[in-house]
């Protein structure tokens, strides 16, 4: 069921090893122990320890409520949903719907989310089911499958919502399921690394799969979080109206230069063990249209800025690390504000890279050795949630862990307005310590930029440095684009 990270030749493949107890896959263990190809390293372990699990070998994972001998018949329910078409949604529709709220609008929005999510989840579950066997039975992708199927089953059984009280209960379910989905992005990235280690899935197909899964995730979360935020807004200010440039509760006005400085400080702090002299670290020199502001999702913007700046800081420090007593060359950021787009050019003197390496930075498919190191680093990132919040009862049903806090926004992108909010996966990735290199930042950023009608590219002069160009759309000018149909 899981993939092997060792580079040695495999003696035997045990397809039923899916059934090892889930405790065997604790993130506190080395990632090498959480895979199923058995090689010389594995066989050298205590034979009695291996023998104790023989009775658990079988075609279905022992920790799963879903993957069992009945799943084939249950799948007919999923197929009915996967054949339906999702309803395309534009930001303009969300904005128009939320400018002046009413009880009826809140109820209509809740029913749209209730009907839409099972369709979108079914499509992605079906994608997971049709992956090649060596990929579909990956442990990390299996975690995503479990989470998606739990959510699919939960949403398809929710009855029509007719009152605000019904909506409050629905929002509670939504926020808990969103909380459970926090770990999915981590597992998706780790699954891509394990697939890279196995080297039996073409890079182009892996990139296409990852792009589809991440785009769909963004789309679902925006729809869900927009409904939660509208509900919260209606609770606190039922008669309020929005300004003309409003495009949704999730999109906040962001001043580009301030956000670069904020993220730059986070990256510097994450690198102190690697380069303790913070005063000599490269400064950010921001020029051009420095007062530019535009509406965007703050977590997405910070992730885009963070991964680009992290690469530039590391490159400059590595290239000039012998100059420990001198100020290192600055990272220059040029901001160009046009009518419909904002262009950022991030220039560094970090030595650049060869053109063959430049073509590889945009792909999720990595070399086996690099992927092994990245996978090990994932398990060490502080505060990164890797397992579901769904508890499994003895009777086989799923129970969602509940919280005493009824603030639905705490699990959404808007939750960062509260100091008590737990960090999202993107937040944890931005502030991860320097030594935990993943190698997936730029391919992830390219998907996020492209999703919001932007673009990300890089030019490099070997021996000198690199220019990274990020173009972001001013979403207000693209609000009529059917953006949220990427189901």
Architecture of the domain made up of 252-365+420-473 = 2-Layer Sandwich (3.30)
pLDDT at 259: 96
Closest CA to 193 of 370, 15, 430: 370
pLDDT at 128: 92
Percentage helix, strand, coil for the chain under 3-state DSSP, each rounded to 5: 50, 10, 35
Indicate the DSSP class of residue 1.
-
pLDDT at 412: 40
Closest CA to 307 of 426, 405, 131, 410: 426
Q: Comparing 58-236 with 252-365+420-473, is the CATH topology the same? A: no
**Positions in the chain short of pLDDT 50:** 1-39, 42-43, 389-422, 487
Region label for 227, one of left (φ > 0), alpha (ψ between -120 and 50) or beta (otherwise): alpha
List the domain boundaries for the chain. 58-236, 252-365+420-473
Cα gap 482→115, rounded to integer Å: 18
pLDDT at 63: 62
CATH topology of domain 58-236: Butyryl-CoA Dehydrogenase, subunit A; domain 3 (1.20.140)
Contacts of 199 (CB under 8 A, 6+ apart): 368
Closest CA to 441 of 156, 192, 172, 274: 192
Closest CA to 298 of 211, 427, 411: 427
Cα gap 424→415, rounded to integer Å: 9
Cα gap 366→201, rounded to integer Å: 11
Q: What is the pLDDT of residues 118-171, one digit of tens each?
A: 999 999 999 999 998 778 778 888 889 988 998 998 999 999 999 999 999 999
Indicate the DSSP class of residue 457.
E
Instruction: Name the maximum alpha-carbon separation found in the chain.
Output: 70
Q: Extract the runs of DSSP E, i.e. beta strands, from 275-425.
A: 284-288, 293-296, 331-337, 341-348, 390-392, 398-400
pLDDT at 316: 93
Packed helices 164-180 and 103-129: angle between N→C axes, nearest 10 degrees: 30
pLDDT at 288: 96
Indicate the DSSP class of residue 461.
E
């Amino acid at each position: 069921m899981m993939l092997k990270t060792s580079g040695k030749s495999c003696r035997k493949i045990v397809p039923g090893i899916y059934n090892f107890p889930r405790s065997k896959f604790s993130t506190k263990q080395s990632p090498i122990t959480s895979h199923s190809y058995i090689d010389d390293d594995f066989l050298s372990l205590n034979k009695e320890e291996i023998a104790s699990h023989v009775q658990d070998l079988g075609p279905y994972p022992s920790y799963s409520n879903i993957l069992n001998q009945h799943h084939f018949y249950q799948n007919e329910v999923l197929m009915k949903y996967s054949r339906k078409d999702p309803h395309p949604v534009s930001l303009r529709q969300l904005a128009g719907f939320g400018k002046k709220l009413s009880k009826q609008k809140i109820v209509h929005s809740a029913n749209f989310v209730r009907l839409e999510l099972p369709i979108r989840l079914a499509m992605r579950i079906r994608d997971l089911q049709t992956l090649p066997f060596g990929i579909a039975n990956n442990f990390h992708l299996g975690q995503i499958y479990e989470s998606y199927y739990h959510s699919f089953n939960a949403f398809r059984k929710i009855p029509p919502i007719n009152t605000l009280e019904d909506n409050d209960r629905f929002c509670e379910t939504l926020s808990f399921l969103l909380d459970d989905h926090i770990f999915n992005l981590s597992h998706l990235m780790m699954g891509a690394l394990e697939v890279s280690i196995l080297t039996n899935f073409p890079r182009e197909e892996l990139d296409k799969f990852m792009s589809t899964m991440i785009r769909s995730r963004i789309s679902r979360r925006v729809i869900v979080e927009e409904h939660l935020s509208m509900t919260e807004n209606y609770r606190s200010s039922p008669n309020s109206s929005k300004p003309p440039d409003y495009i949704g509760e999730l999109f906040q006005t962001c001043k580009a230069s301030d956000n670069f400085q904020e993220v730059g400080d986070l990256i510097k702090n994450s690198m102190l063990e690697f380069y303790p002299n913070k005063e000599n670290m490269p400064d950010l020199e921001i020029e051009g249209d420095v007062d530019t502001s535009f509406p965007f999702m703050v977590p997405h913007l910070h992730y885009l800025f963070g991964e680009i700046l992290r690469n530039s800081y590391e490159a400059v420090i590595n290239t000039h690390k012998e100059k420990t007593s001198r100020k290192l060359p600055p990272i220059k950021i040029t901001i160009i504000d046009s009518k419909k787009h904002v262009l950022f050019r991030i220039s560094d003197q970090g030595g650049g890279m060869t053109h063959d390496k430049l073509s590889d930075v945009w792909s999720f498919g990595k070399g086996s050795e690099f992927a092994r190191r990245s996978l090990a680093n994932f398990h060490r990132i502080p505060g990164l949630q890797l397992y579901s919040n769904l508890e499994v009862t003895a009777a086989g049903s799923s129970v969602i862990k509940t919280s005493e806090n009824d603030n639905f926004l705490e699990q959404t992108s808007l939750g960062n307005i509260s100091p008590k909010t737990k960090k999202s996966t993107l937040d944890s990735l931005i502030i991860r310590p320097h030594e935990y290199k993943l190698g997936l930042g730029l391919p992830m950023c390219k998907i996020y930029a492209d999703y919001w009608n932007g673009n990300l590219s890089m030019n490099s002069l070997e021996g000198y440095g690199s220019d990274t160009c990020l173009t972001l759309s001013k979403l207000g000018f693209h609000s009529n684009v059917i953006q949220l149909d990427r189901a």
